[in-house]
């Protein structure tokens, strides 16, 4: 049996690039019901943003007030993502910026906050993680474009984050969709030289290898795995949740891909088109 992993579906966050995060309420209800029936572990509902000049839908902000209107089963964990650059450019102190976006975990349905960062901002993410931890959240750090970083520097970055003792899962993203399985193995191996906690992987599907790369990542130690319905996301998109769960059904991990098929056909294929 394959080790227990965590599937994080980020359809409403990454798929929001299709429609400015303005999803129909009926679709959201059906999505939440189907994702729960599929036994997905975590849903990343959207971004947590400061007010923007242009119109963006609810999942660009994913406020606690809005989340409270959604019928999310208690068994599923809830996440949101922040961009480190938006925090660092907010003209507020980092702690004040975080406190303006988040309240204490005990008052929020959100369990996990992921910080997306480029390598040149990693050191500044320590204070972001610290502010989130102070509020009681699980913290993920999502390293973008790691394929362009040599292994020694990846290991140093991982060791730096390990020393903070504030990050629960260290993610890497195939940001430009160019990775093969050998790239996945190299990056995980480099991160593990400096990091002893959970590793996560966000695959992109430019080469049609997202699910294949995920299976390689799992084999080499990744625990947290991202996907979206139909692979919806920026550019060529992500690993398809429904396809990934089909691949994993033989490992008896408790996922149910068939719970998603009606949703895919009736709601998400028309939306994608």
**Could you read off the pLDDT of 22-63 as tens digits, one per residue?**
999 999 999 999 999 999 999 999 999 999 999 999 999 999
The pLDDT assigned to 235 comes to 84
CB atoms within 10 A of CB 153: 13
CB atoms within 10 A of CB 203: 28
Residues 124-141, mean pLDDT to the nearest whole number: 98
Is residue 41 within 8 Å of 7, Cβ to Cβ? Answer: yes
Whole-number Å distance between alpha carbons of 183 and 76:
31
Dihedral-angle region of residue 97 (phi above 0 means left; psi in -120 to 50 means alpha; beta otherwise): alpha
Mean pLDDT value across the chain: 96
List the beta strands (DSSP E) in the chain: 6-9, 42-47, 77-83, 112-117, 138-143, 169-173, 198-202, 224-227
Dihedral-angle region of residue 254 (phi above 0 means left; psi in -120 to 50 means alpha; beta otherwise): left
Residue 169, classified by CB atoms within 10 Å of its CB into exposed (0-12), middle (13-18) or buried (19+), is buried
Residues 179-201, mean pLDDT to the nearest whole number: 98
Q: Taking the mean position of all CA atoms in its chain, how far away is CA 229?
A: 13
pLDDT at residue 99 above 90?
A: yes
Find all residues with CB under 8 Å of 192, minimum gap 6, and list them.
158, 199, 221
The pLDDT assigned to 236 comes to 87
pLDDT at residue 20 above 60?
A: yes
Query: Which of residues 177 and 47 earns the better pLDDT score?
Result: 47
Residue 179 in tokens = 């990775």
Query: Which of residues 250 and 189 earns the better pLDDT score?
Result: 189
pLDDT at residue 102 above 70?
A: yes
Whole-number Å distance between alpha carbons of 241 and 227:
5
pTM (2 d.p.):
0.97
pLDDT at residue 1 above 80?
A: no
b/e code 104-114 from CB counts within 10 Å (16+ = b): ebeebebebbb
Give the residue ranges of DSSP H helices in 165-223.
181-192, 210-219
The pLDDT assigned to 273 comes to 86
Whole-number Å distance between alpha carbons of 247 and 229:
15
Confidence band (pLDDT; 50, 70, 90) for 250?
confident
pLDDT at residue 111 above 80?
A: yes
Q: Taking the mean position of all CA atoms in its chain, how far away is CA 110?
A: 13
């Amino acid at each position: 049996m394959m080790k227990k992993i965590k599937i994080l579906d980020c359809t409403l966050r990454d798929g929001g690039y299709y429609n400015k995060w303005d999803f129909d309420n009926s679709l959201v209800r059906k999505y939440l019901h189907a994702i729960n029936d599929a036994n997905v572990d975590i849903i990343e509902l959207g971004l947590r943003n400061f007010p923007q000049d242009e119109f963006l839908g609810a999942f660009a902000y994913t406020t606690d007030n809005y989340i409270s209107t959604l019928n999310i089963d208690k068994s599923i964990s809830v996440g949101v993502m922040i961009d480190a650059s938006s925090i660092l450019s907010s003209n507020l102190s980092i702690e004040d910026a975080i406190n303006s976006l988040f309240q204490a975990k005990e008052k929020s349905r959100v369990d996990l906050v992921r910080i997306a960062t480029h390598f040149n901002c990693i050191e500044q993410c320590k204070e972001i993680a610290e502010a989130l931890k102070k509020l009681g959240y699980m913290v993920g750090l999502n390293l973008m474009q790691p394929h362009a970083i040599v292994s020694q520097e990846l290991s140093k970055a991982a060791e730096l984050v390990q020393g903070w003792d504030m990050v629960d899962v260290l993610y890497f993203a195939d940001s430009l969709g160019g990775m093969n399985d050998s790239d996945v193995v190299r990056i995980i191996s480099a991160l593990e030289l400096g990091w002893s906690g959970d590793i996560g992987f966000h695959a992109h599907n430019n080469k049609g290898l997202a699910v294949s790369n995920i299976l390689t990542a799992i084999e080499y130690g990744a625990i947290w795995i991202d996907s979206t319905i139909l692979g919806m996301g920026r550019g060529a998109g992500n690993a398809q949740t429904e396809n990934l769960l089909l691949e994993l059904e033989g490992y008896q991990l408790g996922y149910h891909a068939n719970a998603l098929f009606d949703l895919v056909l009736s709601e998400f294929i028309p939306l994608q088109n």
